[in-house]
Amino acid sequence: MSSITAQTHATLDGVINASPVDTLLPYMSDAGRQGALDLALAADALQLARETWQGLARAWRDQTGPMAERLNAMPKYVVSATLESAEEWEHTTIVSYDDIAGLREREQLLSYGCGRLARDLLTDGLLDLLVLSLTPVVAGSGRRLFDDPDHLVRLRLTDSTTFETGALRLFLRPDHA
């Protein structure tokens, strides 16, 4: 059986949509970038929600370098009920949420972001690993990592890395019990 790993960034107060210029870029390091590349290299395909897919397509499709080459070349599954075409980014297939369990059976999937798709995967027991890059910043306002969950969400820390910039990378396994 394969798995789904979600990778996302958050501030200390859990904000996931704050300005990357202020909350992410100053805390990036060569080791952090290598860790992100290693996750992408270990995955068979990307699985993305529509908005994340559209943003990443704009950001990566014309870039060069190891990470851009990996993301542009790998298969991508965009989970959407509204997207009519996936021509914007090569190697993309539009799928429904109902297709995810079958994809998870066959492929190592990497998902970016922590919006509704990641929350649904966690709730439905389909998320196997959350890789959270935490930056030492308090954003104050914005969308939170897990806005108002309707039940207690238990995650088990399985590994962590502290970077020289003060950022942390946490590897968290959902406790589906």
pLDDT at 1: 64
Domain range 4-174, CATH class: alpha beta
What's the predicted TM-score (pTM) here?
0.92
- Locate the DSSP E strands across 90-167: 92-95, 109-112, 129-135, 155-162
- Locate the DSSP E strands across the chain: 4-11, 45-49, 76-79, 92-95, 109-112, 129-135, 155-162, 168-174
pLDDT at 146: 76
Q: Where in the chain are the domains? A: 4-174
In whole angstroms, what separates CA 134 from the centre of its chain? 13
Kindly list the averaged pLDDT for each block of 10 residues, start to end, along the chain of length 177: 91 86 88 96 97 94 96 97 94 97 97 88 92 94 78 90 96 84
